[in-house]
Amino acid sequence: MPSLAPLKREFQSNTIQGDPGLLAWFKRILASTVGGKYLVALTGIGLTGFVVIHMIGNLQVFAGQDAVNRYAKMLKDFGPLLWVARIGLLTIFLLHVVWAVRLSLRAKAARPIPYVHKDAVQATLASRTMLYTGLVVLAFLIYHLAHFTFGFVGGAEIDGKTVNYLDLRDAQGRHDVFNMIIFGFRNPVVSILYLVAQALLLLHLGHGIQSTFQTLGLSGPRWGSALRSLGWTLAFVVVAGNFAIVLAVWTGQIQPVAPIYIVGS
């Protein structure tokens, strides 16, 4: 009598019946709250690394015109790879922001009726304002790129004329990032916007770093206090470094290097 059980050859090996595939599984993970928190945490790590490297690169302005312009030229020489890195960074930033907003909206939807008593017991100012500080930093980043990277807004005031930052050159024909930074932060409006954005970055980064460790399961009673200190220390170092550049321009510690070369002049 033949067996009613299916033969092994009727099924492909190493498969699961009804398996929708890796892409569908990945979508389900991202659609979940836990998966969304992991995505925000991992993209946050990438963005934290960027702000640290960006700060270190900008601090070369204290080493003089040649140092910072040479550094900028090195980055530009990567050519298409630099744009790949920029697009990748922008993608990470958008994923971080979009999923953070989604998680915030989902949390609010889960509690349509607000608490009667809103006094925070454990929540800090930084934790309660993470979404808002992140959105403001995003808005400033867009302005910062338009201002310094693409030269869409603003410019250096030289001899009564407004010169696009991208047209500044040093004696070797390199983009004069050194003088660009100085002329840029001599504008009080730009400087104040920059400092405000950095203060909000301090709040966002300080809480975000420790929150990342917690989301990834790397925090606990033994390490919680140390990780909080690490988060705030790193945030203070990054923001202090960025503040130092603006204050150095304001106090005249770093001055424009003459002659100033302009493309087409």
Continuous segment of H or E residues that includes residue 262: strand 261-262
Averaged pLDDT score across all residues of the chain: 84
Compute the average pLDDT of residues 35-40.
Answer: 88
Helix boundaries (H) for the chain: 22-31, 33-58, 65-76, 80-110, 125-128, 130-144, 177-185, 188-215, 224-250
Q: Is the residue at 118 inside a domain?
A: no
In the predicted structure, residue 258 carries a pLDDT above the cut 70: yes
Number of domains in the chain: 1
Please tell me what DSSP assigns to residue 98: H
> Quick one: pLDDT band at residue 10, thresholds 50, 70, 90?
low
Compute the average pLDDT of residues 171-181.
Answer: 94
Q: Is the residue at 45 inside a domain?
A: yes
Q: Is the residue at 204 inside a domain?
A: yes
Identity of the highest mean pLDDT range in 46-55, 101-110, 158-167: 46-55
Please tell me what DSSP assigns to residue 134: H
Compute the average pLDDT of residues 6-17.
Answer: 51
pLDDT above 90 as % of the chain: 41
Report pTM.
0.81
Q: What is the CATH number of the domain that holds 226?
A: 1.20.1300.10
Among 64, 60, 67, 57, residue whose Cα is nearest residue 255:
64
Higher-scoring residue by pLDDT: 227, 67? 67
| Distance in angstroms (rounded) separating the CA atoms of residues 19 and 37 | 25
Q: Is the residue at 246 inside a domain?
A: yes
Judged by DSSP in three states, 156 sits in strand
Q: Is the residue at 2 inside a domain?
A: no
Range of the domain at 168: 29-111+126-262
Is the bond leading into 188 cis (omega within 30 degrees of zero)?
no
Q: Is the residue at 23 inside a domain?
A: no
Q: What is the pLDDT of residues 110-139, one digit of tens each?
A: 666 555 555 555 568 777 888 888 888 888
Residue with tokens 């020489």: 77
Q: Spell out a b/e string for 193-230, using b for 16 or more CB atoms within 10 Å of the CB, else e.
A: bbbebbebbbbbbbbbbbbbbbbeeebeeeeeeebbee
The number of beta carbons lying within 10 Å of the beta carbon of residue 48 is 18
Q: Is the residue at 21 inside a domain?
A: no
In the predicted structure, residue 261 carries a pLDDT above the cut 80: yes
Q: Is the residue at 227 inside a domain?
A: yes
Q: What is the pLDDT of residues 42-62, one digit of tens each?
A: 999 999 999 999 999 999 999
